[in-house]
Amino acid sequence: MEIPIDYETLRVVWWLLLGVLLIGFAVTDGFDLGTGMLLPFVGTTDVERRIVINTVGPVWEGNQVWLITGGGAIFAAWPYLYALSFSGFYLAMLLVLAALILRPVGFKFRSKLADTGWRRFWDWALFVGGFVPALLFGVAVGNVIRGVPFHYDETLRPIYDGGLLGLLNPFALLAGVVSVAMLAMHGGVWLAVKTADPIAARARIGATVAAVALILLFALAGLWVAYGLDGYVVTAGLARGGASNPTLKEAIVEPGAWLSNYGLYAWAPLAPILGFAGAALVPVLLRTGMPGIAFVASSLSVAGVVATAGVSIYPFLLPSSTVPSHSLTVFDASSSAMTLFVLLIATGILMPLVLAYTAWVYRVLWGKVTAADLDSNENSY
């Protein structure tokens, strides 16, 4: 069967789709995580905290599907990336999984007993379930930008030379804090939309503080990448339409290399501009009583921050800090052309259905959550 799209184009399309999935997860499940982080601070009474929990209770499971879909896409479209990242980052992923498990357990168990200590324990468990994944997802991105210690042997078996503590380096921790501030902002804006005062008033303050922190931390991370972090450059041997084999090219480490795409592609600066502009608009829109538009601005900021990481390192997917020539790129870490084409057809059919259903769910569940809703709905948390 002749494929109507060339291999190079298919690879770029799937790089874009991977970015869409990661942004979809950050935007949708991001406000769930942010809400969990803010729970102990915006709710001062048991009823207020129940209201906060019920703003995300009906939708968090559907939002988390974006993460599962992203993992499935990496498995199917980028097998080299899947094999290396899911094995090399295994302990970090277990920590993320353990923290994510706290969310459904916390939602279900919190209201089983009326004891104040019991409920306060699960409130802080939900905080951990939001904070730890937000931090570690950012740490993972920071390590990708910095480079990960791995190489391939003669049989193309990936060898990871790092450990869990090595992931917690200064730049990666900064990226983790950027992620925490970003999702706290997003969660605060969500609560400003879904709740009434006094919860919404506290959420507006939290979102404003987080937005300012995001702007400062994002700028600091950008300066670090520009002046304190080496990037990677492919110098020879990269067959953009050839068979996937990450060991056939040549690559070097070069100071400031992660900034080169911003000169090569006129659209590249739009990603960081969107990240900064969206975060800057959030406090203004909240202060002027437009939380719905503020949520759009927050979502665009999240998309811009995530896209900045991908745009900066393109065409790399996972740089190797030990053997740069073994780094994974968009053009030597993918599945076959036929696999990518079949996956693209399936995505073209299923993705619009998923988006339509998601839009319908949010339309049905739209509106503020109040104390009266908790009493009238037996399925509330």
Q: What is the pLDDT of residues 354-377, one digit of tens each?
A: 888 888 888 887 888 877 767 766
Torsion of CA 321, 325, 328, 334, to 10 degrees: -170
Q: Which residue has the higher pLDDT, 188 or 113?
A: 188
Residue 246 pLDDT greater than 90, yes or no: yes
Nearby residues of 16 by Cβ (< 8 Å), 6 or more positions away: none
Determine what percent of the chain is predicted with pLDDT higher than 70: 98
For residue 368, the cross-strand partners are none
Q: Which residue has the higher pLDDT, 115 or 130?
A: 130
Residue 106 pLDDT greater than 90, yes or no: no
What pLDDT score does 371 carry?
76
Compute the chain's Rg from CA coordinates.
21
Nearby residues of 276 by Cβ (< 8 Å), 6 or more positions away: 215, 218, 219, 301, 304
Q: Which residue has the higher pLDDT, 64 or 270?
A: 270
How does pLDDT run across 70-85, given as a tens digit for each residue? 888 899 999 999 998 8
Identify which of 264, 275, 321, 254 has the alpha carbon closest to the alpha carbon of residue 179.
275
Q: What are the tokens at 255?
A: 């100071």
What pLDDT score does 378 carry?
62
Nearby residues of 109 by Cβ (< 8 Å), 6 or more positions away: 122
Amino acid at 322: T
Q: 180 and 25 in contact (C-beta within 8 Å)?
A: no
Q: 161 and 149 in contact (C-beta within 8 Å)?
A: yes
How far does Cα 241 stand from its chain's mean position?
29
Nearby residues of 277 by Cβ (< 8 Å), 6 or more positions away: 297, 300, 301, 304
pTM of the model: 0.92
Residue 290 pLDDT greater than 80, yes or no: yes
3-state secondary structure of 43: coil
Instruction: Please report which confidence band the pLDDT of residue 141 belongs to, taking 50, 70 and 90 as the band edges.
Output: very high
What pLDDT score does 85 carry?
87
Instruction: Please report which confidence band the pLDDT of residue 379 belongs to, taking 50, 70 and 90 as the band edges.
Output: low
